């Protein structure tokens, strides 16, 4: 109610400021302008006569002529007409239009009936959201099913056997490594995360930060892109070991971004975006979400540019024959595919690879990249939009 009172008072006040000049009458002149001139001339003649600048007979003749003109001007004087009626009508129209536009615009673009959200309430809601979010098992059970994998039956049988063997060998590190790797190939990320957790249990104190980072990646992917309480604990363990850890900072920022604190997410991401390698998977994902987080946090932030091919590279490509250009394009596509497979990249990089395979006529490869990219950017609406457009351009989607 207080919000509406303030809005009404401000809108009415602004409308009054606009309308009041239209209601104020213009000052009306008392005399015809010529009358004032002739009266001034009569006064000037009297002063000249007093200073002996005019002879009495000359002054009399001049006074008579000016008096004659003054009488004629008085007869021609017109009475100004009133301007109140049309001005009141215009004022009423302006007031109605101003009030209508103001409240109509808010009704369309605003949020009528939305409750007040002071900062303290928003912070409390964010904290409650983070404290009450589902656990890892619940998130995995509700995550979207990954696309089916087209593999030979022999491979499926081998993986099924490995799944039976692994539990019987709880301390066999190599078996669990194989199982984790093949579960990823099968897109069963929950099982892959469980296998990776067993690897950490077997290694104990000898487990590396890389082992923990891989487990964190798998947990988040298995949870459909959400950071569960269990994943958060692993994130904080990594930060306790190294407060600059890129993987942990990315996922902690993701957690804040998912629970109504984009300001904290941006604070965690900025350093890795501005100083990290943009081709690295987690840096690229942070770049893909940073501007949206900044917008929701009310902060102006523009991503730093990344370097592309130099003018010399483009000139060299232009000088090649069509066959050599095709070979060069194939080499660049292969290089991009290898980098994305080993280091990851932005949604734009994945989209570029999908389109490149489409241009080369290799729709099977384009479809394979599109399938894998969906898993990488499943939690990024903007990333999925970019990838979907690329898949459509490449002919993978109708």
Q: Check whether 114 has a pLDDT greater than 70.
A: no
Q: Rounded to two decimals, what is the model's pTM?
A: 0.56
Structure tokens at 373: 């990219």
Q: What is the DSSP string of 129-176?
A: HHHT---HHHHHHHSPPPPPP---HHHHHHHHHHHHHGGG-TT-HHHH
The length of the chain, given as a count of residues: 398
Cα 268 versus chain centre, distance: 17
Average pLDDT over residues 31-56: 76
What are the tens digits of pLDDT across the range 46-91? 887 787 777 778 878 888 887 887 777 776 655 454 444 446 677 7
In this predicted structure, the answer to whether residue 161 has a pLDDT above a threshold of 90 is yes
Fold of 129-297: 1.25.40
Would you state the structure tokens that stand for residue 213, as one six-digit string? 């980072």
Mean pLDDT of 359-365: 80
Task: Please compute Rg for the chain using Cα positions.
Answer: 40
Selected residue with higher pLDDT from 309 and 387: 387
Distance separating alpha carbons of residues 186 and 128, to the nearest angstrom: 36
- Reduced to 3 states (helix: H, G, I; strand: E, B; else coil), residue 51 is coil
- Which two structure tokens, joined as six digits, stand for 220? 């988040």
- Give pLDDT tens digits for 183-232: 988 888 999 999 999 999 999 999 999 999 999 999 998 998 899 999 99
d(CA 264, CA 249): 11
The pLDDT tens digits for 128-158 are: 888 889 999 999 998 888 777 788 889 899 9
CA angle in degrees (0–180, nearest 5) for 344-345-348: 145
Residue 32, pLDDT score: 61
**pLDDT tier at 177, thresholds 50, 70, 90:** very high
Rounded mean pLDDT of 106-120? 66
Q: Which carries the bigger pLDDT value, residue 351 or residue 25?
A: 351
Contact 165, 157 (CB under 8 A): no
The rounded distance, in Å, linking the Cα atoms of 357 and 351 is 10
240-262 tens-digit pLDDT:
999 999 999 999 999 999 898 99
CATH code 1.25.40.10 region(s) in the chain = 129-297
């Amino acid at each position: 109610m207080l919000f509406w009172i303030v809005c009404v008072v401000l809108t009415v006040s602004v409308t009054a400021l606009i309308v009041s000049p239209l209601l104020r009458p213009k000052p009306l002149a008392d005399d015809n302008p010529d009358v004032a001139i002739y009266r001034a001339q009569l006064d000037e003649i009297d002063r000249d006569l007093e200073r002996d600048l005019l002879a009495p007979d000359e002054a009399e003749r001049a006074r008579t002529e000016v008096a004659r003109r003054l009488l004629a001007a008085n007869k021609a004087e017109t009475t100004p007409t009133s301007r109140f009626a049309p001005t009141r009508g215009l004022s009423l129209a302006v007031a109605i239009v101003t009030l209508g536009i103001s409240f109509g615009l808010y009704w369309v673009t605003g949020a009528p009936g939305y409750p007040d959200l002071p900062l303290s309430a928003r912070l409390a809601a964010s904290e409650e959201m983070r404290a009450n979010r589902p656990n890892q098992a619940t998130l995995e059970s509700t995550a979207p099913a990954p696309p089916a994998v087209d593999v030979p039956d022999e491979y499926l049988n081998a993986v099924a056997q490995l799944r039976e063997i692994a539990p019987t060998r709880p301390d066999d590190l190599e078996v669990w490594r194989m199982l984790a790797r093949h579960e990823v190939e099968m897109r069963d990320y929950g099982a892959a995360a469980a296998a990776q957790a067993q690897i950490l249990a077997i290694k104990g104190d000898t487990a590396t930060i890389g082992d923990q980072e891989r487990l964190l990646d798998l947990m988040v992917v298995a949870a459909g892109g959400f950071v569960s309480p269990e994943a958060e604990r692993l994130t904080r363990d990594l930060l306790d070991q190294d407060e600059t850890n890129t993987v942990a900072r990315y996922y902690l920022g993701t957690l804040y971004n998912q629970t109504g604190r984009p300001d904290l997410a941006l604070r965690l991401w900025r350093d890795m975006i501005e100083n990290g390698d943009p081709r690295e998977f987690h840096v690229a994902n942070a770049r893909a979400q940073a501007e949206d987080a900044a917008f929701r946090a009310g902060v102006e932030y523009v991503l730093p540019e990344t370097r592309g091919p130099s003018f010399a590279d483009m000139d060299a490509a232009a000088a090649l024959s069509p066959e050599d250009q095709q070979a060069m394009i194939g080499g660049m596509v292969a290089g991009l595919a290898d980098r994305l497979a080993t280091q990851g990249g932005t949604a734009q990089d994945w989209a570029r690879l999908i389109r490149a395979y489409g241009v080369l006529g290799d729709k099977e490869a384009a479809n394979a990249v599109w399938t894998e990219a969906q898993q990488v950017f499943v939690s990024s609406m903007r990333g999925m939009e970019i990838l979907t457009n690329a898949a459509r351009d490449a002919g993978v989607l109708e």
